[in-house]
Structure 1
Amino acid sequence: MFSYRHAFHAGNHADVLKHLCLIACLDHLMLKPTPLTLVDTHAGAGGYPLDGAQARTSAESDHGVMRLLAAAQDSPPPAAVARYIDVLSQFNPTRWHHYPGSPRILQSLMRADAGDRLRLFELHPTDSRLLRKTMAATELPASQIAVTVKDGFEGLKALLPPPAGPGGSKRALVLMDPSYELKTDYARVSQSMQDALKRFANGCYLVWYPLIARPEAHQLPRRLKTLANQAGRAWLHATLSIGQAPGDEPGMRGLTASGMFIINPPHVLAEQLREATPWLMQALGQGKGQALQVETSA
């Protein structure tokens, strides 16, 4: 179960979709001054060198974030994309050689004075050590960041509902993006979301998943829609496919599509993604089947 390493995939088109949505959601939640509990259930190593041996094995960032950056040189990106690039630029002040994982993105947007808390889970023995080292080097007090070597599906339960801030406000954002190395992960995501909604229905929950030729991958968003509808919560479902380049055989380039399912999304997110769609497709699309589709409960 420990064969997956995100370092081989860092900065690919799936990371673009995931982190564009993550940043947009977090920016919206940060408009309120009350503290946030931020949780990443499958945190990975925290950051990845794009010029390292693992990242260059399949060079997936060349078809993801690097294509995005090249396109931004030719035409101004939409606001949500520009914000995504701006956040990543903080980690690449002189040249683009590093891709921050979700933990570093979350940490970079935290507010020390607001009392935000970051809780990270990672089971992989190597990645958990790297994650601890990475997060120990940040400037925030250790009390605001915790790295736990534990199954994130189980660890999340103890964090919901989140502690109340001044005035009794309880707020949380949860990112759940397992590797789906085990097909049982799909069912565990559904079960975890069902439990989370019972414990704290008001949380902002982001679930990433790969769009692959496996029944569980196509069933997952349908199950999450059902859970959100039963709980009376708004939802947004976005899928990004970069398509099939001319001459490619189906499946020869690995993952070509992924999805984000968000429960209690910011009301502005659907408009932001739709506004960005033409530009993103021009930047990332590679042929037949390319699309960015956004569906909402409203």
Structure 2
Amino acid sequence: MNYRHAFHAGNFADVLKHALLARVLTYMIAKPAPLRFVDTHAGLGVYDLTGDEATRTGEWRDGIARIDAAAVPPALADVMAPYLAAVGPRGADGAWRSYPGSPAVAQWVLRPEDRLTLCELHPEDAEALKRETGRDPRVRVLASDGYAALNAVLPPPERRGLVLVDPPFEKTDEFDRLLAAMLRAHARWPTGSYMLWYPLKNRAAVGRFAAGLARSGMKRVLQVHLLVGDPDAGPLAGCGLAFVNPPYVLKGEAETLLPWLAETLARPGQATEWTVRWLAGE
């Protein structure tokens, strides 16, 4: 599959990924020591929802626009608050014009003493990311392969932080590359926290990836899956996240969040499904 993100910004997968990203970072900054956020496939930073790519697909209308139109249940107010604050309000005329990528979400949540290392292989996207984040002294942009960059940036000087690995899944062996990168990164920095995104299209590949994480020897691995429609029909309808060393409260909060997301983001006439489970530890 091709997942050039400008076509998909603000869709259901972004809602899940960024809501949990903002929540994890919020928990991490509760401790006074500074931290490092590493994004291996950072993209543009901010996406134009009026541009050609987003207009062509309109996926944000069934993602962030539905969240905006829904009433967040009181039980989820604290869980969703960091994400909604990072996304920000619509324009003065009520129109959606942009959506933040993971770097912008992290920039919003993190403190002045924290640092961000953002990797982007695509030259034009890397330059756009530099322009978008250029005035933020906390940010360093690396125009390089994010998998390879992990060898150079881990462990970070801060010795605490979060690594987000969010590949485009343009290669048929991406699950193998993702697992291998995770194992190498964990060997270099076993106390770090990790967040891995993947699509739910190839069930056999997802199963092999999960099995690899489960038998890796990593002590705490949490898996989260969300399907908003039929995974075998039409555009991407499901995605997963694997968390290594997540905050202890994340499982309970995800179990509260995902049923509401499934209901709010469901595709008409299609069944939804969600899963939150430990692959290792608990």
Q: What TM-score, normalized by structure 2, do the two folds share?
A: 0.91
1:12-36 Cα shifts (integer Å, max 9, x gaps): 1111111111111101100001011
1:147-185 Cα shifts (integer Å, max 9, x gaps): 111110000111111114xxxxx2021000101100222
2:239 and 2:97 map into 1 onto residues whose CA distance is: 24
Amino acid at match of 1:178: P
Aligned residues between the structures? 276
1:202-238 Cα shifts (integer Å, max 9, x gaps): 11100000000363233222212222xx13x212100
Aligned-residue offset at 1:251: 2.1
1:266 to 247, 251, 254: 247
Runs of 4+ in 1 over 6 A off after TM superposition: none
Amino acid at match of 1:177: D
The equivalent of 1:235 in structure 2 is: 221
The equivalent of 1:47 in structure 2 is: 46
1:37 and 1:76 map into 2 onto residues whose CA distance is: 31
Question: What is the DSSP-based 3-state SS (H/G/I as helix, E as strand, rest coil) of the residue aligned with 2:70?
Answer: helix
**Pair 1:294 & 2:276 matched:** yes
**Pair 1:147 & 2:141 matched:** yes
Aligned-residue offset at 1:65: 1.1
1:120 to 118, 121, 130: 118
2:184 and 2:211 map into 1 onto residues whose CA distance is: 17
1:123 and 1:278 map into 2 onto residues whose CA distance is: 35
Given that 1:44 and 1:127 are in contact with CA atoms closer than 8 Å, whether structure 2 keeps it comes out as: yes
Amino acid at match of 2:141: V
**Pair 1:106 & 2:100 matched:** no
The equivalent of 1:68 in structure 2 is: 67
Given that 1:285 and 1:291 are in contact with CA atoms closer than 8 Å, whether structure 2 keeps it comes out as: no
> After the TM superposition, which of the residue ranges 217-226 and 256-265 deviates more from structure 2?
217-226
Question: What is the DSSP-based 3-state SS (H/G/I as helix, E as strand, rest coil) of the residue aligned with 2:168?
Answer: coil
The equivalent of 1:280 in structure 2 is: 261
Amino acid at match of 1:238: V
The equivalent of 1:167 in structure 2 is: none
The equivalent of 2:237 in structure 1 is: 256
Given that 2:76 and 2:256 are in contact with CA atoms closer than 8 Å, whether structure 1 keeps it comes out as: yes
Alignment RMSD (CA, Å): 2.0
Aligned-residue offset at 1:102: 0.5
Question: What is the DSSP-based 3-state SS (H/G/I as helix, E as strand, rest coil) of the residue aligned with 1:39?
Answer: strand
Question: What is the DSSP-based 3-state SS (H/G/I as helix, E as strand, rest coil) of the residue aligned with 1:212?
Answer: coil
CA 1:218–1:289: 2 relative to 1, 3 Å: farther
The equivalent of 1:7 in structure 2 is: 6
Aligned-residue offset at 1:63: 1.2
1:244-269 Cα shifts (integer Å, max 9, x gaps): 4xxxx9422x1000000000011111
1:154 and 1:237 map into 2 onto residues whose CA distance is: 24
Given that 2:3 and 2:169 are in contact with CA atoms closer than 8 Å, whether structure 1 keeps it comes out as: no
Identity %: 38
**Pair 1:185 & 2:171 matched:** no
Aligned-residue offset at 1:64: 1.0
1:160 to 151, 154, 158: 154
Structure 1: runs of 5+ lacking an equivalent: 165-169
Q: What TM-score, normalized by structure 1, do the two folds share?
A: 0.86
The equivalent of 1:135 in structure 2 is: 133
Aligned-residue offset at 1:107: 1.3
